[in-house]
A and B are shown apart, each in its own frame.
Chain A
């Protein structure tokens, strides 16, 4: 298991991010359902993490020493499956089966149905707790792996997140559990400030975490934030990435209507053009 990765250049990461975005749009179109908005907002976080920070070997997905990536915002499967496929866990051909009968690419992740899928998801708020379990097991067995947990900002409404947030510092797991918040400001029913106002940096800080904020679509900034999160500190670290829901596709950006809705064929063509031209 690699303990350090040969860094991938920011330009290369940006090129990968474009491919991920194109997959997301095509998958949701093909399935005629799914969650494009919160997938597109998470792309830079996921790409910088999987290519430059997550200590994994896609050819050996069950290595007990691997870093874990735990997708707590389980509806972001278009993003998740596309990242896993591009990272080499399985063929990108499988992405065409997303949400279809007989495909292992369920609408929300099913643990071990696919290589690299660490946790079953779809009911929000559970990932940080699951990561604590992995981290405690890792410490008991003297393993060094870290658990990176991606949460949505709407998901922070769930009380279980805070049960877990208080437990991470209590158990001294700051070097083993790192949280990532995709702060896109929109949840299922609308803008987060109107549905349930939260202040993720202040809330995590109040629970004893070191908060690292960044522009979640500036690849260099995201990469630097993740590197800072890896540096030891007496507090556990959370990266709050300020993002735009639907990022990279003009008509999806900051549009609550595309939280869980598929585009039309014409919209797909426009979206793919915009992604190729690098609106993001």
Chain B
């Protein structure tokens, strides 16, 4: 990984995206729950103090207030850690946000997603948030891979009137995208073409999938790589094309293999083009450690993704 100079955490994109939305005329109001120094929401508050509130350690109240603001026409953003948002306030998201009038205009931006939150240990490591968020009927759910993708994704959901959940991460990660990148809600990005297998990833696992494709290429295996940043609605066309054209699919996510990206992709293929699949994720609770150490501890590595690809390919008929 040689792009350390451009490394930035996806969570750092949040205030930039909010400021951009306001500058584009979106009537943003943002709320934090005593974690704004970590979600970076405070930076938006410094720029637009009249548009930013902090409610103390009270995620349920935060969701309700956001729903009220949205009911009055505001685009309400709320931020916390992915273990607390949606975990601590799921019922409020369901009753006060998802159900009224087909879904109120509330955007959750949950930082510190997945196990790369690191040293804080298992209680802080969200591996259920995508399952919860995707289960809320009108919600869009996005897991960006780098700073630029996160910024554009937050801007994109900010321009819809639907509720949304965007998961960002704590550690600084290398850039995946250059200046020409354009995020499109609901569309996968083909990062590498290939014919033998497709690696579908989101978030920090996009980088791992790209490196896995390199490993596979050394063995003569041609792997396509899709950044499926939008987990819901998943890009059905890209998934179907991948199955038709490569015949095997691996999903990779920093989340349980149930209820997240793997489930979404498998559902599309079960209905359309069933092909051998393998699922890379985290199906156990964790421990403390540095974020990159934890990626190895949980086996969220390029080697594991490559092994999953070989395994899926071996089941082709």
A-to-B contact residues, CB < 8 Å: 64, 110-112, 118-123, 125-138, 140-141, 159-160, 163-164, 166-167, 170-171
Given A110-B100, A119-B100, A167-B58, check contact A126 B65 (CB 8 Å): no
Residue from the set A129, A135, A166 with the largest chain B CB neighbour count within 10 Å: A129
Question: Of A128, A133, A170, which is within 8 A of B69 by CB?
Answer: A133
Residue in chain B with minimal CB distance to A72: B64
Given A118-B71, A167-B61, check contact A136 B53 (CB 8 Å): yes
Question: Is A130's CB under 8 angstroms from B58's CB?
Answer: no
User: Chain B residues near A125 (CB, 8 Å)?
Assistant: 60
Distance between Cα atoms of A171 and B64 in the complex (Å): 15
Question: Of A112, A128, A135, which is within 8 A of B100 by CB?
Answer: A112
Question: Is B67's CB under 8 angstroms from A110's CB?
Answer: no
Distance between Cα atoms of A127 and B95 in the complex (Å): 11
User: Chain A residues near B101 (CB, 8 Å)?
Assistant: 111-112
- List CB contacts (< 8 Å) of B40-86 with chain A: 50, 53, 55-56, 58, 60-74, 76
B142 close to A (CB within 8 Å): no
Residue in chain A with minimal CB distance to B61: A163
Residue from the set A64, A121, A130, A135 with the largest chain B CB neighbour count within 10 Å: A130
B-to-A contact residues, CB < 8 Å: 29, 50, 53, 55-56, 58, 60-74, 76, 91-92, 94-96, 99-101
Residue from the set B50, B64, B73 with the largest chain A CB neighbour count within 10 Å: B64
Question: Of A123, A131, A133, A135, which is within 8 A of B70 by CB?
Answer: A133
Question: Is A130's CB under 8 angstroms from B71's CB?
Answer: yes
User: Chain A residues near B62 (CB, 8 Å)?
Assistant: 129
Question: Of B55, B58, B61, B99, which is within 8 A of A110 by CB?
Answer: B99
Question: Is B100's CB under 8 angstroms from A129's CB?
Answer: no
User: Chain B residues near A132 (CB, 8 Å)?
Assistant: 61, 64-65, 68
Question: Of A119, A122, A129, A170, which is within 8 A of B60 by CB?
Answer: A129
Question: Is B100's CB under 8 angstroms from A133's CB?
Answer: no
Question: Is A159's CB under 8 angstroms from B60's CB?
Answer: yes
Given A130-B96, A163-B55, A171-B53, check contact A137 B68 (CB 8 Å): yes
Question: Is B95's CB under 8 angstroms from A122's CB?
Answer: yes
A120-B96, A129-B61, A129-B92 given. 19 additional CB < 8 A pairs?
A111-B100, A111-B101, A121-B95, A122-B95, A123-B91, A125-B60, A129-B60, A129-B64, A133-B67, A133-B72, A133-B76, A134-B68, A134-B69, A136-B29, A137-B73, A159-B60, A160-B60, A166-B56, A167-B58
User: Chain A residues near B95 (CB, 8 Å)?
Assistant: 120-123, 126
Question: Of B68, B92, B94, which is within 8 A of A136 by CB?
Answer: B68
Q: How far is the CB of A108 from chain B (nearest CB, A)?
A: 9
User: Chain A residues near B72 (CB, 8 Å)?
Assistant: 64, 133-134, 137-138, 141
Question: Is B68's CB under 8 angstroms from A129's CB?
Answer: yes
Distance between Cα atoms of A64 and B74 in the complex (Å): 13
Residue in chain B with minimal CB distance to A160: B60
User: Chain A residues near B68 (CB, 8 Å)?
Assistant: 129-137
6 tightest Cβ-Cβ pairs between the two chains A and B: A133-B68, A129-B64, A137-B72, A111-B100, A163-B61, A163-B58
Question: Is B65's CB under 8 angstroms from A133's CB?
Answer: yes
User: Chain B residues near A119 (CB, 8 Å)?
Assistant: 71, 96, 100
Q: How far is the CB of B287 from chain A (nearest CB, A)?
A: 30
Question: Is A160's CB under 8 angstroms from B92's CB?
Answer: yes
- Can you report 23 residue pairs joining A to B where beta carbons are below 8 Å apart? A110-B100, A120-B96, A122-B95, A126-B96, A129-B61, A129-B62, A129-B63, A133-B67, A133-B68, A133-B70, A133-B76, A134-B71, A135-B68, A136-B29, A136-B68, A136-B69, A137-B29, A137-B69, A141-B72, A160-B61, A160-B92, A163-B61, A166-B56
User: Chain B residues near A123 (CB, 8 Å)?
Assistant: 91-92, 94-95
